[in-house]
Structure formats: structure tokens, C-alpha cells
Structure 1
Amino acid sequence: MMNNKKYHRGYFMPPEPSYDWVKKEYIDHAPTWCSVDLRDGNQALVIPMSLEEKLEFFKVLVDIGFKEIEVGFPAASETEFEFLRTLIEQDLIPDDVTVQVLTQARDHIIRKTFDSLKGCKNAVVHFYNSTSLAQREQVFKKSKEEIMKIATDGAKLVKQLSDEAGADYKFEYSPESFTGTEIDYALDVCNAVIDIFQPTPEKPLIINLPATVEMSLPHIYAQQIEYMSKHMNRRDSIILSVHPHNDRGTGVAITELALLAGADRVEGTLFGNGERTGNVDLVTVALNMYTHGVDPKLDFSHLPQIAEVYERVTRMKIYERQPYSGKLVFAAFSGSHQDAIAKGMHYRDDHHTDDWTVPYLPIDPTDIGRVYESDVIRINSQSGKGGIGFIMEQNFGYKLPKVFREQFSYYIKEISDHKHKELKPEEIFDVFNHEFVNLNAPIRLVDYHFVRGEKILVTLTINFRGEEMDITGRGNGRLDAVANALRKGCNLTFDVVDYNESSLSKGSTSKAVSYVQINDCIREDRFGVGVDDDIMASSIKALISSINRAIIHKED
């Protein structure tokens, strides 16, 4: 990595400082969104979408709420021409949706673009030419004046053909590679185009300033956008748009700062698909706004379903850690994280608050179609008692007592560590049932009967190592009497340390669950769980389960 000297900063600072955007705390309203999935996104795919796949994706974009959708470069590809014609001829474009078509600022391409639009009700004709220093010198070998003439000639032809067609289209101009263009020159080109269209507040012109290649730190792009916004002709009649790419990995950041700096509109794709490192991810930008309490005017309440369609038709995969949409973005494996999340969820329930302040979760996963049970608390060898307790309560209704929750978590973590894998909730529940619940060997409860007197008398019918017998015991309470009967009848030594009971809130609500902790003959705590329709039966089964675990452990 000794060749860094061959690189230089290829961007240009504005002619004057532009720092007003710094004073703004957050983005307070949604911009106009334009999806370019069907053009920029599609052209970047190894296998571009078929006509049927494009139609399905177009419907998804409409359902999300996009009112402007770039559908292709119809003059450059017969497939894209056919797609646009299908949308128009089959009347698939809702009246409140505007389709956008892309064209270079070249005579024959512009003319064919207008041919593709015949019969279209609402359209944006987006024309562009590259203005950057590198493109002028290396690709086109043209002067600033010659490059500006390409832009103005294109603007004149677009306006002429629109007038001839009697079409009420909207227009958009992009100085492509804006970030590599001298800012004062980019302003001159844009103002020349503006002067040709003479936009009004009632019929504005879209000026799009793309980060075709992301070249600078985000705050530089913000200054470039603010300078252009302040000095552009007829600013009240201009929709200032940005089209950020992600070459430096800060596409979301430059978009957000551009909005603070005066941008009105954002072009991007779902999940950041696009050339090289992709376009800006509109899901992330929109949901970032949502987490600040701002309505983004896009509906991602069914994000997993949107992601499924995207992955299927594009044959791309969403990274597991992609903000909001990745499969693991809400997953907490760490014990301390799990404990904080579980306590935060209980806090919301206990305080009946609608405010979302749960630790480690910047957004309520259910708002975007994710589920707590499978998306949030995930169990492996790094997990803790809080997360495992959360799983048992949320998924299966068992409110494990604190001490038992800790011991059970160690038990589960050892299994996960030994198997070197994540344990799904169903696997954890299977372990819980097999190792702790209603254990019936070597002691199995057959029947019981209580007689109340000065002390409670119990007669237990049990099967002990294959032999059925009746044993009796007296105690200050029912569970005390049962414990005394088992000590005497089975020649056992143990102390009952703790007892808890509750009803199951998941599955059958008529079930009672009891938790018993004993200290066995070798002075170790053993836990047992009993589940039954009757609370007393569940408590006896819990005690017997804990004793059975102690006997089995001693014999092992």
C-alpha cells in the first residue's frame, strides 16, 4: 500500500463557505422520493430482470408509496422500450405515479425517448451529460463551452419536442459526475439550462446533482449542495434533487447532509443496489427519518416481504447486517444486550408507554414487519439469563424465577457451546421440557390425598423404581407435608429452598406451572418444574422433578 501518492482529491470546494446546514439538528420532513431500481439498479445486475420481474417490482414500488419511478433508458435498450410501452398500453401506471425516463443529451436518443412516451399521462424526461473535469479531458476531449452546448442543445430539443407533442411532461437535468466538476462551472451549466426552460413554481424544473462517484467526505458534498441551492437561478421554481452513490461507503450520510443543505428530492434504490458499491439505500434513509419521529411517506411495514421480492427478482442478497432489512440487525446474542432489551420491553409494559426507548433497538422491529420471537433475542454460547428468560416468556409463557433463570441459562449455553451452534427457541423449549418438566423417574406421582388438621396430612401414591407404594407425611403446609412424606418414604435428604407458581400465558391458559428449588444431599441446588391443570398437582410434580434430578445427578 505504498502507492497512495498517485491519488489526489478529485473534487472541488465551493467558491465560498457554505455551512448553514450544520445548524440543523435533523431532517424534519420527507423529500420527494424517486426509485431508480428499474434503471440504475437493473443495469447493475449480473442477470437483468425480465419483463415479468420488472412488472412485479414496479408494483412493489407503487405499493411502498413511490410517486416517481424511473423505469429505464428506453432509447438505449429494446427491453426497456418494451417495458415502458407495456406499462403505458396496459394502463399499469396509477394516476398519482409519474414514470421517469432517462436519456443522454443527444439528438437521436432524445427523439426516440419521446417516441417511447406516446400515450403516457405523467412522465419526467430526465436528460443528462457529463460535466466533470476528468470526463471533459479524457473521454469527450471537449472544452467547457462545448460541454455546456451539449447541455443547452439537449434542453432546447427536449422543450421543443414536448411542445410539439402537446405533452405536459416534467423535465429533469443532471450534470453527470457533478462531484468531479468545478462547482462554479456546474452552476453555470445548470443556470443555462434553467434559463431555457423558464420554470415557474407551478411548473418547476428538476435539477439533479448526482454523486455519480462519491469522492469526498460527506460534509463536502453538503457544502456543494448548499452553494448550488443558494445561487441557482429561479430557486423557487427548482426541485433540487440528489442522486448519491456509495463508493466511499457513506451514501446514506451524504444524502442526509444534502437534505439538510437544501435538497428537495432523492433518487436511489431499495437496499442500495446499483453500479459499483451501489446507489444510496432509500430504505435506510427513510427509516432513519422514521426513528426521529418523521413520517417518511414510504411504507416499509412489510419489509421482509419487500426484501423477499427484491432478492428473488434481482438475484441479489441483502447483507445480514444491512440496516433495518438484514436478517441479523435486531439480533442480540450478547447476554448484557439481551438482558437490557428484555428489561426495556418489560418497562414499556409496566409503564404503559407508547414512547420507544428500548435499549439497543433504535426502531420497534414490529413497525417494519419483524418479530421479537425470531428476530431480536437469539441464543448461543454468548447469551445470558435475560435473553433466555425472554425467549421462555415471550414464546412459551414461562416466567422463570430469577435463580432458576440463571441456572437454566448456564445449562443452555453449555449445550450451545458444545454443539457450536445457535439454539432456536423450539430447541431450548425441548431441553426445558426434557430436563426439568414433570420428570417421572425414578419417582412418579400416581395420586395424592390431603387431610386438614392441626397439621396437614398427605398420603402420596408413588411409583419408586418400579414399585408402587403409599407414603405419608405431615407439615405446616401442603408442599411441606409432601416434602416430609418423600423424605421419610424414599429415605431422602433435601431442603426446599424456594417455590414459585404462575399460570401459563402462552398455549393453554388453564395450565398451572410451579417451580421448586431444593438443596440436595450433596448440598447443590436442583430445580424442577411441574405443569398441570391443578396448581397443587403442578407443585407436587415440580418437587418430584427437582428430587429426580438430584437422584439422577448423584447416581451419575
Structure 2
Amino acid sequence: MQSAPVTKYRPFPPVNLPDRQWPGRVIERAPTWCSVDLRDGNQALAQPMNVEEKIEFFDMLVKIGFKEIEVGFPSASQIEFDFCRRLIEENRIPADVSIQILCQCREELITRSLEALKGAKNVIFHLYNSTSPKQRDYVFGASKADIVAIAVKGVSLLKKHGQALIDAGTNLRLEYSPESFTSTELEFALEICEAVSDAWQPTKANKIILNLPATVEYATPNVHADQIEWMCTHLTRREATIVSLHTHNDRGTGVAATELALLAGADRVEGTLFGNGERTGNLDLVVVALNLYTHGIDPKLDFSDINHIRDVYERCTRMEIHPRHPYAGELVFTAFSGSHQDAIKKSWPHQSPDRPWDVIYIPIDPADIGRSYKAIIRINSQSGKGGVAYILENEFGYQLPKLMHKEIGKVVNDLADSKGAELTPQDIHDVFVREYIDRVSPVALREFRTMERTSTVTCQADLLAYGVEKIVTGTGNGPIDAFVQSLRAAGLPKFELVSYSEHSLGSGAEARAVSYIQIKTERGTTFFGAGIDTNIELASIKAVVSALNRALDKK
């Protein structure tokens, strides 16, 4: 990289728009969406989709709810032509869906494209030519007048050759793109768009689509919004024009640029699922649509089974969705941070159908897009007590006392530190069972029975303590107290009970009870224990032994 001063690059010039209105506006409804996955997205794949894959993808786009779908560049290759024909001849296009094709402003390409569209009900014919100064100078060696003439000729040829399609019953609409709009002088972009509109003569009933692409993203999103607002306010046929957006993501701000441009007056958005496209990609339609949804706006697209959509996308495109990709990524409903886990756990129970969604750190209900709650919290060395307790409760049914959360959290985090990796829910369960349930050393309980129950309870227990068999007895105000007294009589260290809780684990005839006991040693240190049994009384006795063994291990 060049050291300061950086002279190799220059800032993008701002737009002189002192009375800009977009900063004070809010988005109130979804735009018209157009998927360009099958053309713009497909051309960016190392291995483009075959016809069968494109058909599967098309069917998915229809199911999601797209009413405008760019299906290809039929004049560019036979595969593209054949795909377009197959959609039409096999009646795969619903009556309310328009297919869109791309074409350069050349007569032989326009006529070839029209051949591919015969029999289609609704067609958007997308013409384009390059307009930026660098394209004019470096690529075409053409003047502004030459570039305008190319666009106008293309529109005139479409009107001439497309009449037969219209006469046959096709609803033919024009979309025009001044390619590299955002790096074209605004005055010239307006000039060529006005010339195209003059040639087409749109009406309110048959509007022209003027697509204003950020073919390469050079500026900050606010500059893009200024450019769009400037165009919207200067177009003479604005009421007969659909202003369309087509952002790319070279600066990583394609979504932001689109959202601000919608505030600036745009009506329509082109993009792809998950942002597939040239270089850093096209606009991600999933993100923009679900961003609207989280603000209470119906996006008119259905992503309620986003896992299936992701599967089809990855299989057909051979691209992988990043784990941190908004909404669809494997980890986006996952919290590793302990404080995040705790906040999620505490805020989740406050949700109800009659209140707006408000779970801390999770801006959308994962269930709305077919995601599972089970993957929300996962555990590594950065996790906290709340996350561990959440896993044990939601995956395995343990309702740990709150004071126990810190204790088990430390045990689990110690393991995560030693492994240096994420722990699965099963790993966490195994730690819990090993630490609390399966402890048989230095004290193992062989048998426990109550011998007498009056105002007090007398018990007898068979123990193996430090390898020595012992039969102990004790009397107390209940089975647990009696057992504690028997342990003291056996010469084991003294302790007192601090807390006790229990609940059923499972339901029906096979249900077991789980008991949690907290004890305090003579040194004032507290330890929890846990026990499981079909008999609640025996589960409590096992929990006492568990807590005692943990205390003795820490001596």
C-alpha cells in the first residue's frame, strides 16, 4: 500500500443536492423485486448452472414470491436460448410472473432474443449500453452523442421487431440500463434516459423501467442515495417511470446503498439470493427483504423455509453461504459470549404472541424463517453460566437452581479451555453427568432404606467410604436429614444443607426425578450435588452423596 500521502486514489465526488429529502424519510412498503440469479448471478459462477438446475432454481424463485425474474441472455448462447424456450413451452411461468431477458442494443441480438420469447405472456426486455466516461474513452472511443444514438437505436429496433410479439398477445415492457450509472455524469445519465424514454413513449399504464446500476460500487451509500434522488426529481416522465436499483458490493455496502436509495425514491430492486454475483457480489435480496420484515413491513417474499432455500442455492450454484451471513448463516442465531447467552435466556420467556418480538441480541424470531431454537446458544471457552444452563434445560430437561449455574459453568468452561474448541450439547451433558451424577468416589452409596417413620425418620445406608464398607444409621426430621446425621456418625466431614430442589425428568411411567442439593462445609465453602432416580427420595439421597464427593475432592 502507498504510504501517506495517498495519491494513487481519489475520493468520489459528492452530489450537489442541498435540499435532499431522503434522510428524513422511512421505508413504508416493499419495492418491486426482480431476481437476477439466473443471469447476473449465473454468469459469475465458476461452473454455471445447467438447464435442470436453472429450472429448479426458477421454480424456487416463483415459490418464494418473485414476480419478475431475469432468466438469461438468450442471444448470448444456445443454452440460454433453450432455457428460455423450455420455460415458455412447458408452461412453467405463472400468469402473474414476468420473465426478463438481457440484451445489448444490436439488431441481430434483439431479433434473436425476441425469437426466444415467442409465446411468453409477460416479458421485460432489458436493453443496456455503457455510459461512463471511462467506458466511452477506453472501450468504445465514442462521444456522448454516439452513446445516446446506440441506446435510442436499440429502443427503436425493439419497437419495430417487438410489435409481432405484442400482436401475438405478449405484454412487452422495456427496461433500460445506462451501465455504470453511478460512475456516469448525472447530467449525461439523465440525458440518455430521457432520450430512451422519448423513443419508447411510456405511459402510466405501461411504464418504462429505468434501471440505474451501481455496476461497480465506488462511493458511500449516501452518495448513491443522492444520485437516485437527483434522477427521480429530474426525470420529466417520472409518473410513467419505474426507477430500479441494481447495486453491487465492491465496498461491502450494497445493502445499505439499496436501502438509502429506496428512501431516495426508487421503486424496484434487482439482486440475487445471498448476494451471488461478479467480484464481491450483487445485492443480497434476502437481507433487504428480511430487514424490512424486522421493521414490520411485509416484504412480499416468503423466506419461511430459509434452510431449504439455502440448500437449493448451495447445490445449484456450488457456492457456500458464510456461517455469519445475515439470517441464513449457520452461526447467526448462536451466542458464544456468556453475557449474551444470559441476556437471551432471561429475555426469551418475556415474549408473547400479542407483543412485538424483543429478544435481546436476536432481532428476528428464528422460527419465522424456519430456523431452530436449539442452535441459539453454543458453548466454548468464552461462554458463561447462562448458556450452559440453557443447553442443559432445553436439550436435556435439567432445571438447575440459579445458584448452581455459576458452578457448572466453570466446570464446562474449564473443559472448553482444555479442548480449545466449541463443545456440543452432548459434550456439556457428559460433563454434567460425570461431575454430578456418576460420582462414586470417595463415597459410594450401595443401599438406602428408611427403617421407621413417626415424627422423625430413621434410616440405614450401606456405604463404601474410601474403600471401606460401612453400614450407618441416623435419625432426623426427614429422610435427607436422617441420612446427613448418619454420615456424621460414620466420621465423615461435617456439613450442613443449604438448599434443596427437585423436578421430574421426562413424563409418563418412565419419568425419573432429579434432585439438586447444596451443602456448606465447615470452612464455609458451598457445593452442589445432583441425583437421579425413579424414586424422588432416593434421588435426593444420591444428590447428597454427589455434593459430599465434590466437597471431598476439593479438600
TM range (shorter): over 0.9
Give the corresponding residue for 2:444.
443
Give the corresponding residue for 2:29.
29
Give distance in 2, aligned partners of 1:304 and 1:272.
Answer: 16
* Contact 2:448–2:538, Cα closer than 8 Å, also in 1: no
Give distance in 1, aligned partners of 2:12 and 2:470.
Answer: 90
Q: What SS does the aligned partner of 2:7 have? A: helix
1:369 Cα deviation from its structure 2 partner: 1.8
1:360 Cα deviation from its structure 2 partner: 1.2
Give the corresponding residue for 2:500.
499
Give distance in 2, aligned partners of 1:202 and 1:504.
Answer: 66
Q: Which amino acid aligns with 2:15?
A: M
1:18 Cα deviation from its structure 2 partner: 5.0
* Contact 2:457–2:479, Cα closer than 8 Å, also in 1: yes
Q: What SS does the aligned partner of 1:329 have? A: coil
Give the corresponding residue for 1:377.
377
- Cα-to-partner distance string for 1:502-543 (whole Å, 9 max, x where unaligned): 233689883321101123466543321112233222211111
Give the corresponding residue for 2:458.
457
Distance 1:59 1:486, change over 3 A: same
Give distance in 1, aligned partners of 2:404 and 2:533.
Answer: 19
Distance 1:153 1:17, change over 3 A: farther
Q: Which amino acid aligns with 2:191?
A: D
Give distance in 1, aligned partners of 2:510 and 2:160.
Answer: 73
1:143 Cα deviation from its structure 2 partner: 1.1
1:203 Cα deviation from its structure 2 partner: 1.4
- Within the alignment, does 1:205 sit opposite 2:225 as a pair? no
Q: What SS does the aligned partner of 1:5 have? A: coil
- Cα-to-partner distance string for 1:298-354 (whole Å, 9 max, x where unaligned): 1111112211221222121222222112222222111111111111113336xx753
Give distance in 1, aligned partners of 2:277 and 2:262.
Answer: 21
Distance 1:307 1:507, change over 3 A: farther
Note the aligned Cα RMSD (angstroms): 2.2
Distance 1:153 1:296, change over 3 A: same
Deviates more, 1:447-456 or 1:156-165: 447-456
Distance 1:430 1:298, change over 3 A: same
Distance 1:297 1:445, change over 3 A: farther
- Cα-to-partner distance string for 1:174-201 (whole Å, 9 max, x where unaligned): 1111011111211121111112222222
Distance 1:258 1:377, change over 3 A: same
Give the corresponding residue for 1:320.
323
Give the corresponding residue for 1:409.
409
Give the corresponding residue for 1:355.
356
Q: What SS does the aligned partner of 1:74 have? A: coil
Give the corresponding residue for 1:13.
15
Q: Mapping of 1:102-501 within 5 angstroms?
A: 102-165=102-165, 166=167, 167-348=170-351, 354-374=355-375, 376-437=376-437, 439-441=439-441, 442-449=443-450, 451-462=452-463, 470-489=471-490, 491-501=492-502
Q: Which amino acid aligns with 2:540?
A: S
1:11 Cα deviation from its structure 2 partner: 5.6
Q: Which amino acid aligns with 1:105?
A: C
1:549 Cα deviation from its structure 2 partner: 3.0
Deviates more, 1:466-475 or 1:144-153: 466-475
Give distance in 1, aligned partners of 2:523 and 2:509.
Answer: 37
Give the corresponding residue for 2:39.
39
Give distance in 1, aligned partners of 2:382 and 2:515.
Answer: 28
Deviates more, 1:499-508 or 1:510-519: 499-508
Higher RCO (CA-CA < 8 Å; seq separation 6+): 1
Sequence identity (%): 51
TM-score of the two chains, using structure 1 as the length reference: 0.94
1:36 Cα deviation from its structure 2 partner: 0.5
* Contact 2:440–2:549, Cα closer than 8 Å, also in 1: yes
Q: Which amino acid aligns with 2:476?
A: G
Count, aligned residues: 549
Distance 1:508 1:542, change over 3 A: farther
Q: Which amino acid aligns with 2:309?
A: I
Q: Which amino acid aligns with 2:37?
A: D
Give distance in 1, aligned partners of 2:379 and 2:52.
Answer: 41
Q: Structure 2 unaligned runs (5+)?
A: none
Q: Which amino acid aligns with 1:231?
A: H
Distance 1:537 1:354, change over 3 A: farther
Q: What SS does the aligned partner of 1:415 have? A: helix
* Contact 2:2–2:8, Cα closer than 8 Å, also in 1: no
Q: Which amino acid aligns with 2:387?
A: G
* Contact 1:65–1:299, Cα closer than 8 Å, also in 2: yes
TM-score of the two chains, using structure 2 as the length reference: 0.94
* Contact 1:12–1:182, Cα closer than 8 Å, also in 2: no
Give distance in 2, aligned partners of 1:273 and 1:38.
Answer: 10
* Contact 1:398–1:505, Cα closer than 8 Å, also in 2: no
Deviates more, 1:483-492 or 1:143-152: 483-492
Give distance in 2, aligned partners of 1:109 and 1:202.
Answer: 28
- Cα-to-partner distance string for 1:187-246 (whole Å, 9 max, x where unaligned): 121111112222222211111111111121111111111121122132222111111111
Give distance in 2, aligned partners of 1:37 and 1:259.
Answer: 21
Give the corresponding residue for 2:2.
2
Distance 1:150 1:450, change over 3 A: farther
Q: What SS does the aligned partner of 1:343 have? A: helix
Q: Structure 1 unaligned runs (5+)?
A: none
Q: Which amino acid aligns with 1:382?
A: Q
Q: Which amino acid aligns with 2:196?
A: V
* Contact 1:219–1:257, Cα closer than 8 Å, also in 2: yes
1:6 Cα deviation from its structure 2 partner: 3.0
1:64 Cα deviation from its structure 2 partner: 1.3
1:445 Cα deviation from its structure 2 partner: 4.3
Give distance in 1, aligned partners of 2:136 and 2:12.
Answer: 14
- Cα-to-partner distance string for 1:456-514 (whole Å, 9 max, x where unaligned): 22233555567776432111233111211222246442222221222336898833211
Q: What SS does the aligned partner of 2:381 have? A: coil
Give distance in 2, aligned partners of 1:469 and 1:420.
Answer: 42
Q: What SS does the aligned partner of 1:479 have? A: helix
Give distance in 1, aligned partners of 2:219 and 2:423.
Answer: 44
